[in-house]
Amino acid sequence: MAVESVSVEEVSSVKHTRKSRSVIRDMAKVWQLYVLMALPFAYIVIFKYVPMYGAQIAFKNFVATKGIWGSPWIGLDNFVRFFESYEFWTIMGNTIGLSFYQLAAGFPFPIILALSLNYVMHDKFKKMVQMVTYAPHFISVVVMVGIIFQVLDPRIGLVSELLKALGFGSVNLLGQAEYFKSIYVWSGVWQNVGFSCIIYLAALAGIDPALHEAAVVDGATKLRRVWHVDLPGIVPIAMILLILEVGRMLEIGFEKAFLMQNPLNLQASEIIDTYVYKVGLASTVVNFSYSSAIGLFKNVINLILLLTVNRLAKKMGQSSLW
């Protein structure tokens, strides 16, 4: 029996060795792909996973001279401080409201644009529309905010001049808190709708033409073809993108909100990202632990939203991330 046991182990070891060599040979055949993958992999490890080590300062009273390990542990005090802050509900309300507004306004427009372009027969016009809607994506955030300031300037801005021509007085839109969300969201829709549309155009190109031919033979109009052929064809990719969008709902973006902020619209423009910057770096008393706790809280909420929506999509029989 002992001999048989040893022989089985040897056979298993030989099979494992052969399998390992086979994997190495397969990797060697496409080594160029692994070289290309090395840089983004290193980026993710260095800038996404390594910084997780520093997340523990959210539970400490971090003192730079003592280091992370030397700083005293205070548990959930930083989180409690944020929850009990008089600014908590204002910041959360602005962040959540802006997130939902951005999702509701920004998600359907790329789909509508892609479906519209898919039925345009004139190639030059189609390419022109794609270029015009795609180009704003490459405008930097600083330049975009500068354009917004120029267009909405109450003295010489385009909107102000149009209002004057129509017999109305000029309005300082950036100085009124109630207009901040709309300006932020719709300028973002204009900037990114063309870029987001590309994914849906690629999905529409992958739909079997035989389905459209069969629909035409059955007498289906273009609207019917859109409803029964095109939309079902892009639902999987749309669901994946929706899950990803919900997973970063509280990740609105610091730069644009901060640059558009002023004392007059602060009541509507103060979000988690701008608040973290102010308490973590811009205040007279820098508090890394407090700002880290707020950032960690935001990321945990994003993770919960991602897992929840992904699970719901899976239960509904739709495409999911895993």
CATH of the domain at 254: 1.10.3720.10
pLDDT of residue 1: 44
CA 111 to chain centre: 17
What gap in Å lies between CA 63 and CA 76, rounded to an integer?
Answer: 17
Cβ neighbours around 63 below 10 Å, total: 14
pLDDT band, residue 2 (cuts 50/70/90): very low
Range with top average pLDDT, 68-72, 152-156, 183-187 = 183-187
Q: Are residues 157 and 118 in the same domain?
A: yes
For Cα atoms 156, 258, 60, give the angle at the middle one, nearest 5 degrees. Answer: 170
Whether residue 307 lies inside any domain: the answer is: yes
Q: What is the CA radius of gyration of the chain?
A: 27
Mean pLDDT on 80-92: 91
pLDDT of residue 91: 93
pLDDT of residue 99: 92
Query: pLDDT tens digits for 199-242?
Result: 999 888 888 888 888 888 888 888 888 888 888 889 888 888 88
Q: Are residues 120 and 16 in the same domain?
A: no
What gap in Å lies between CA 12 and CA 31, rounded to an integer?
Answer: 28
Residue 88 has pLDDT above 50, yes or no: yes
Q: Are residues 177 and 287 in the same domain?
A: yes
pLDDT of residue 284: 66
Q: Are residues 35 and 89 in the same domain?
A: no
pLDDT of residue 89: 92
Q: Are residues 116 and 258 in the same domain?
A: yes
Q: Are residues 168 and 26 in the same domain?
A: no
Q: Are residues 142 and 112 in the same domain?
A: yes
pTM: 0.82
What gap in Å lies between CA 144 and CA 94, rounded to an integer?
Answer: 21
Q: Are residues 167 and 236 in the same domain?
A: yes
Tokens at 5, concatenated: 């046991």
Mean pLDDT on 160-180: 84
Among candidates 144, 174, 149, 171, which has minimal Cα distance to 160? Answer: 171
Residue 304 has pLDDT above 70, yes or no: yes
Q: How many domains does the chain have?
A: 2
Q: Are residues 110 and 46 in the same domain?
A: no
pLDDT of residue 3: 46
pLDDT of residue 65: 82
pLDDT band, residue 314 (cuts 50/70/90): confident
Whether residue 321 lies inside any domain: the answer is: no
Tokens at 26, concatenated: 């397969």
Q: Are residues 248 and 276 in the same domain?
A: yes
Whether residue 130 lies inside any domain: the answer is: yes
Residue 176 has pLDDT above 90, yes or no: no
pLDDT of residue 79: 92
Whether residue 41 lies inside any domain: the answer is: yes
Whether residue 322 lies inside any domain: the answer is: no
Among candidates 281, 292, 233, 220, which has minimal Cα distance to 55? Answer: 292
Whether residue 61 lies inside any domain: the answer is: no
Whether residue 62 lies inside any domain: the answer is: no
Whether residue 60 lies inside any domain: the answer is: no
Residue 36's domain comprises 2-55
Q: Are residues 149 and 43 in the same domain?
A: no
Q: Are residues 103 and 159 in the same domain?
A: yes
Residue owning tokens 């040893």:
6
Tokens at 258, concatenated: 């901060």
